[in-house]
Structure 1
């Protein structure tokens, strides 16, 4: 099963913090990630052709424990779970009755889900800039510094009323992925077991470590 990297986000992304003035949005965003240990909540994810129609719509829940651990669970329209303990990534597709196991570094690299759940400062991998105000949201733009190995041309984080409420990703294939976050909880204790995965009995396990 090929891992749908542009459909991740995983991400995982989200959040409750004071945006401050627009001139301070970038510094506030970096401080927020540096001071966040866990995040959890719900998401809706829509994928569009760039400047075109919607081509997919999904929703589910997420949990992040920085650095490197996450559980990203698609509930609709198909059940799929992505779990990482920081070293291994399990991708469970319930409909296919298949689990794929991969190494996190080889699979995710500098993908947006690692932006959300990683431990390094955002400026290590991205050039950050204030992207103005649109649709009642203040935006911060992230452009990968390593453009050759990134699947995304740019990422936008939208802030409203002291929260990051939207993430927009533009990939190299002409797609735009929009993720909206809700019911977000920050820095609460999450069970360690949420970041381990035991394949259900009877499923195929494809080991790609």
Structure 2
């Protein structure tokens, strides 16, 4: 499903930040804290994969299987502005301008607008796009080193206003850090579905005019406005 990309995109873009030189032995958790604390702008490439474990009739020795993959470009400006531009295998954009969230589907010639606050409420972006400290909302737990990255688990702290203790749809959120740069985001939901997003060719602290995040649907496009 195409619109599944938006959840991972929202979770991903908040981790990008300035080029901070860190000691080689710096923990992944401390690297991530510095990224969130100092983040401004970033632009680069992404690859997003939806993974699942092999079924009973499939070879079990190859680990998780890629069942869907997309790739494209991202642009980010803290707080609350980003573009998640999927280019392959189809063209679709997710745009946040600080006030609203816009999903543009070129094949459908359709743009969907909704308030950013509501749209982001169930994702890590609702917290991490803001001005507050990451540690106010998550426990940062250093994990194992794998795939050449230092992994950090983000464990949501209990939200007393949420029915189930927290309002995030994930059972596990992890970020892979390499030499002070976020290289991967891993999201796992309650059904065991895994989304892995990897980043490449990141440009940091670039100048981004506010108009970069403005989107006007082309003439003839279907426009949906959700409250």
Query: TM-score w.r.t. structure 2 length?
Result: 0.82
Match of 1:206 in 2: 224
**Where in structure 2 are the equivalents of 1:8-157 lying within 5 Å?**
8-9=9-10, 11-12=12-13, 13-14=15-16, 16-20=19-23, 24-49=27-52, 52-114=64-126, 117-145=129-157, 146=159, 148-157=166-175
Aligned with 2:199 (options 177, 181, 191): 181
State the alpha-carbon separation in 2 of the partners of residues 124 and 43 from structure 1: 28
Residue correspondences, number: 209
Structure 2: state its 5+ residue gaps.
Answer: 54-62, 160-164
- CA positional deviation for 1:154: 1.6
- CA positional deviation for 1:94: 0.6
* C-alpha distance 118-71 of structure 1, shift in aligned 2 (>3 A): farther
* C-alpha distance 81-55 of structure 1, shift in aligned 2 (>3 A): same
- CA positional deviation for 1:148: 3.8
State the alpha-carbon separation in 2 of the partners of residues 14 and 32 from structure 1: 7
- CA positional deviation for 1:57: 0.2
State the alpha-carbon separation in 2 of the partners of residues 195 and 32 from structure 1: 22
- CA positional deviation for 1:135: 2.5
* C-alpha distance 30-7 of structure 1, shift in aligned 2 (>3 A): closer
State the alpha-carbon separation in 1 of the partners of residues 29 and 88 from structure 2: 33
Check conservation: 1:68, 1:119, Cα contact below 8 A.
Answer: no
Aligned with 2:178 (options 134, 149, 160): 160
Aligned with 1:192 (options 192, 206, 210): 210
State the alpha-carbon separation in 2 of the partners of residues 135 and 42 from structure 1: 19
- CA positional deviation for 1:197: 1.0
* C-alpha distance 161-28 of structure 1, shift in aligned 2 (>3 A): closer
- CA positional deviation for 1:112: 3.6
SS at match of 1:206: strand
* C-alpha distance 40-113 of structure 1, shift in aligned 2 (>3 A): farther
Structure 1: state its 5+ residue gaps.
Answer: none
Q: Deviations over 1:113-145 (max 9, x none)?
A: 456644332222221111121222111111222
SS at match of 2:12: coil
State the alpha-carbon separation in 2 of the partners of residues 101 and 56 from structure 1: 25
Q: Deviations over 1:156-193 (max 9, x none)?
A: 11122332211111123321111111111111111211
Query: TM-score w.r.t. structure 1 length?
Result: 0.88
